[in-house]
Structure 1
């Protein structure tokens, strides 16, 4: 797949950040990308439409990943603009939602609401808008109020978003990356680039695994992200040219 044939981001420079699994560093990579964009003078905004695993505060439920994305955005955004749908329990969102609905203390997740939140951020006209998924590509959202099964990937497909794939470098990552990229492409979207996130710096045959992914994935490697204490520390790791952010 050539970048010359890749679709352009649907609105401004809009990207959907997904991962090969949960806990592969999507938020860390997203925040580092936002910092890199800010450094070249681009305005940025982030959207994490759904989260699970939140702390109950006086201001409402707060998710640590969403808070980091809010802080990393150059636009001043309210928390609810970044993360409109939040669940307290650290379980799959469709399960958390089902428990709340069954108890009479919640409503179904609706893609319509996620779309409204996205359009609200689009209207702010930042140069770069990063949408961070939850879990992996095919995250179930459960049935909506009309009884239809939904997936977060449906949102990305509806908006024809270019996809950035975060690969957590650990045993099994090649299989997970190839299957995820295949699913994205079968859904009609483009993986515009992938990021090698060093979850296990001592991973056996690390270089060979990265080379295998470079050979087997049709998208370019955007960067190798080493373990670091803060996203700002690794913002120079990315090749923003591949994303069309530097001419």
Structure 2
């Protein structure tokens, strides 16, 4: 079963755009039941229930992944942690009285895997964004340990696709993230160059440097186009 972990050089650089396009590309390749998963979503709006169904906290990235997916599952499977505050996940979890548990996320992923032909997992923020901070002890005095999105990627053990937001500073961010992925024994299956700054100077030269320095195939190069649909982007996305 194809499954990938999508990470990025920062927040707001196109992970959801890439994840949604990848879902469509997998569907076009013949995988009938493809589902997106956002294990931790920080920044949600409350959606009231209708027709007797309970309300829920809903993140716009999660909504986009569900719209792209061909398999619809319980929200506890594709988004185990929906946190109201749009801040770093470990702070959002603290504010919500939650503690992010990687075992719970892993169980949700395996539940999806039982029903799906392919799963696309989108991480939160950048690759090493904190999910739990040990200094924030619970009532028992248990400080736990540092947990990050990188630990989650290791726990799931999936090939990683890196989304590079093309803007000033992307070279450093991309190469540092590549080192962090490889140092954890994970496979960097490919990367996507996603235009996020239409005025970026020396864009072409930066792209050449990224192609020479990132040790994985470039799966897509998308220029700045906020109106591009996931379906359209999928047609220019190579599968790893």
**In structure 1, what is the Cα distance between the partners aligned to 2:108 and 2:177?**
26
Matches within 5 A, 1:89-238: 89-100=85-96, 106-124=97-115, 126-143=116-133, 146=142, 147-226=144-223, 227-229=225-227, 230-238=229-237
**In structure 1, what is the Cα distance between the partners aligned to 2:216 and 2:98?**
38
* 2:11 counterpart SS class: coil
Determine if contact 1:108/1:143 at 8 Å carries over to the other structure. no
Q: TM-score w.r.t. structure 1 length?
A: 0.86
Q: Residues 4-26 of structure 1, C-alpha deviation per residue, up to 9 Å, x if partnerless?
A: xxxxxxxx111100000000010
**In structure 2, what is the Cα distance between the partners aligned to 1:108 and 1:137?**
19
Q: TM-score w.r.t. structure 2 length?
A: 0.89
Shift of 1:96: 1.4
**In structure 1, what is the Cα distance between the partners aligned to 2:218 and 2:36?**
22
Aligned twin of 2:75: 79
Determine if contact 2:163/2:193 at 8 Å carries over to the other structure. yes
- Residues 149 and 51 of structure 1: is their aligned pair in 2 closer, same or farther, counting only changes over 3 Å? same
Shift of 1:78: 2.9
Matches within 5 A, 1:39-58: 39-43=28-32, 44-58=34-48
Determine if contact 1:109/1:143 at 8 Å carries over to the other structure. no
The partner residue of 2:24 within 35, 53, 59 is 35
Shift of 1:115: 1.1
Instruction: Structure 2: state its 5+ residue gaps.
Output: 49-54
Q: Residues 98-117 of structure 1, C-alpha deviation per residue, up to 9 Å, x if partnerless?
A: 223xxxxx232111111111
Q: Residues 148-176 of structure 1, C-alpha deviation per residue, up to 9 Å, x if partnerless?
A: 22112112112221000000000000110
**In structure 2, what is the Cα distance between the partners aligned to 1:107 and 1:219?**
36
Aligned CA RMSD, in angstroms, stands at 1.4
Determine if contact 1:122/1:129 at 8 Å carries over to the other structure. yes
**In structure 1, what is the Cα distance between the partners aligned to 2:93 and 2:77?**
20
* 1:123 counterpart SS class: helix
Determine if contact 1:228/1:234 at 8 Å carries over to the other structure. no
**In structure 2, what is the Cα distance between the partners aligned to 1:185 and 1:236?**
28
